[in-house]
Amino acid sequence: MPVNLPLHEMTLHEKLALMELLWDDLPRTPDAVESPAWHKTTLDERQQRLNEGKTRFSDWETAKANIRNKFS
């Protein structure tokens, strides 16, 4: 089903809210979302860097707040 949204008329806040709705909806059908083969390799590399103390991360709520602060 094609979806036609007036993206050029939407504010940044509206676009981000829409993206958030989509991301929140995807886990409702996890079997419908197949991860590509390279994804496991990338996750393994990131886990290795984390184990070696070469990286750090934020929880999702903090990351979203940081993104919002950059664009508001």
pLDDT in tens, 5-64: 999 999 999 999 999 999 999 888 888 888 899 999 999 999 999 999 999 888 999 999
Determine contact, residues 17/68, Cβ cutoff 8 Å.
Answer: no
pTM: 0.45
Structural domain of residue 56, as residue ranges? 37-72
Name the token pair of 12. Answer: 């940044």
In a domain, 13, yes or no: no
Is residue 29 a part of any domain in this protein? no
Domain assignment present for residue 57? The answer is yes
Cα radius of gyration (the chain) = 16
CB 26 within 8 A of CB 33: yes
- Count how many domains the chain has: 1
* Residue 52 lies inside a defined structural domain of this protein: yes
